Amino acid sequence: MSNVYSRLSTANAYDNSVRNIGMRQSNLSNLQENLTSGKRVVRTSDDPTSAAIAERSLTRISRIAADQRALESQRNAIALAESTLGDITDNLQSFRELVVSAGNGGHSNAERQAIAFQLSGLRDSIVAAANLKDTNGQPLFGAMGSATTLISGPQATSPDYTFNGLPGQQASTGISIPIALDGDSAFMLHPTRDQAFNAVVNASSTLSISGVTVSNTATVSATEAATLAATGRVNSFPDYTLAFTAVDTSVPGTTTATYTVTENPSVSGALGPVTVSYPSNQALTVTAIPGLSVSITGIPKTGDTVSVSASPSLFSVLDDAIKDIGTATTHNAASQAVAQTLTNLDIGMQRISGVRGQAGDLLTRADRITSNQDKRSVQLEADRSRAEDLDMIKGISDFNNQQTGYQAALQTYAQIQKLSLFNFIG
């Protein structure tokens, strides 16, 4: 009978145990780090692809946050501009009410002057509001860009008020809105577009002007362009003076009047004298002014004059009202000033109302942009989470399994450490 002896290498088993313990300890440490950070990808080397996706998502989220901060600044500026237009509208409404009261036939010259003084205060408030700036010191109505002082005036030269900016409205983008409204569209009046004209008779006249209307838009536009070429002044238009040089009422029921029209600056050529006969009980329609028609009621006298000028801005309308009402010495003159002012004031208020509506549209657009950006942020955050965040349930389960395996490895190591021949000698 033979005996078979087998020799086991305890050193090899010992080395394997130590290596496994070290590996399990490293894995357990990594899982613990993942659990404490809440992330599956702690370092780029853990998963390069997922790390790149997460980094790209974080970059886009940061960009959206920056865009939103800029949008909030733009929204605040437009909201302030819209609120300012509301204040201007309220002041204009108060101005209008005072103008209507000035037409009261019982007012004396002193009372009309007192009303003109009140109108001056409202005018100053409106001009100050038009020049209002945002928190960055930029004009709220600077359009495409402007000087620090947006509206300059009144000035001795024509036009009396100038818009120191580049007219137009900046376009919105998918992530932003303009930071300023178009002050030119809100406050400046163009002869062709707005057709706001002021007609004034001389103080001693009993004539009445029912209004100035545009009879030929193309002619008015050409005259406006010719004035710009001759003077270099934007938003400028000639002033016209109609003077009656002869009036004949010898024929019963018929008035024959001769008048001349003077244009300053002269851009249309000679406007020679005109003689016209019309029924005395009807209005005289003057068509000698290029592109314009003026209706005059009453029997003129030799020496009577009618001045016709375009109102280049809302502020010009206000100034004309203050001047004409304050200097009116008769009820007829005051009535003429009131009628002209109300017509042109309504035109100016329509311009402001239109720009205020644009401000409302921009604020609505800003709300839509914010909503879209929030949705994009949620989507990007979900992409980032899927790429690098740890599934906590799976992570805890893996950690418990790894911890159990680590404990088993330690116990095995303890048993293998006792397998030594010296433990059995003695």
Single out the residue of 104, 201, 183 nearest to residue 141, CA to CA: 183
Distance CA 59, CA 53 (A): 10
Place of tokens 């901060």: 69
pLDDT digits (tens, 9 = 90+) for 107-158: 888 999 999 999 999 999 999 999 999 888 889 999 888 888 888 888 887 7
Q: Which two tokens stand for residue 260?
A: 């001349």
What's the whole-number mean pLDDT along residues 162-168?
A: 87
Q: Are 79 and 55 in contact (CB under 8 A)?
A: no
Q: Is the peptide bond prior to 191 cis by the omega test (within 30 degrees of 0)?
A: no
Single out the residue of 314, 324, 323, 312 nearest to residue 345, CA to CA: 314
Of the chain, the percentage scoring pLDDT greater than 90 comes to: 32
Q: Which two tokens stand for residue 187?
A: 């406050």
Average pLDDT, the chain: 84
What's the whole-number mean pLDDT along residues 33-43?
A: 70
7 pLDDT higher than 60: no
> Hey, how many other C-beta atoms are within 10 angstroms of the C-beta on 295?
16
78 pLDDT higher than 80: yes
Distance CA 325, CA 188 (A): 22
Can you give the length of the chain in residues?
Answer: 426
**Residues in contact with 209: Cβ distance below 8 Å, sequence separation at least 6, in sequence order:** 199, 200, 201, 294, 295, 296, 297, 306, 336, 339, 340
386 pLDDT higher than 60: yes
Q: What is the pLDDT of residue 5?
A: 45
Q: What is the pLDDT of residue 266?
A: 85
248, β-bridge pairs: 256
Q: What is the pLDDT of residue 208?
A: 85
State the virtual CA torsion across 323, 324, 327, 328 in degrees, nearest 10: -170
Single out the residue of 140, 301, 270 nearest to residue 207, CA to CA: 301
Distance CA 307, CA 209 (A): 10
67 pLDDT higher than 70: yes
For 269, list phi and psi in degrees, rounded to 5. 85, -170
pLDDT digits (tens, 9 = 90+) for 304-322: 998 898 888 999 999 999 9
413 pLDDT higher than 80: no
What's the whole-number mean pLDDT along residues 19-30?
A: 72
Q: Are 181 and 163 in contact (CB under 8 A)?
A: no
DSSP string, 136-205: TS-BTTBBT-EEEEEEE---SSSSSSEEEEB-S-PPP-SS---SS-BHHHHHB--HHHH--EEEEE-TT-
Place of tokens 């000639």: 238
179 pLDDT higher than 50: yes
Top-confidence residue, 121 or 232 = 121
Distance CA 232, CA 196 (A): 21
For 236, list phi and psi in degrees, rounded to 5. -120, 155
Q: Which two tokens stand for residue 64?
A: 């959206």
Distance CA 399, CA 392 (A): 10
pLDDT digits (tens, 9 = 90+) for 334-375: 888 888 889 899 999 999 999 999 999 999 999 999 999 999
What's the whole-number mean pLDDT along residues 173-193?
A: 90
> Hey, how many other C-beta atoms are within 10 angstroms of the C-beta on 137?
7
Distance CA 292, CA 274 (A): 15
Q: What is the pLDDT of residue 421?
A: 55
What's the whole-number mean pLDDT along residues 184-208?
A: 86
What's the whole-number mean pLDDT along residues 1-6?
A: 50
Top-confidence residue, 413 or 242 = 242
Q: What is the pLDDT of residue 140?
A: 92
What's the whole-number mean pLDDT along residues 382-387?
A: 78
Distance CA 284, CA 41 (A): 90
Q: Are 64 and 56 in contact (CB under 8 A)?
A: no
- Biggest CA–CA distance in the chain, Å, is 169
6 pLDDT higher than 50: no
Q: Is the peptide bond prior to 159 cis by the omega test (within 30 degrees of 0)?
A: yes
Of the chain, the percentage scoring pLDDT greater than 70 comes to: 86
Top-confidence residue, 388 or 208 = 208
325 pLDDT higher than 80: yes
Q: What confidence category does residue 162 fall into, taking pLDDT thresholds of 50, 70 and 90?
A: confident
Distance CA 251, CA 193 (A): 42
Model's pTM, two decimal places? 0.78
Helix (H) or strand (E) holding 382: helix 331-388
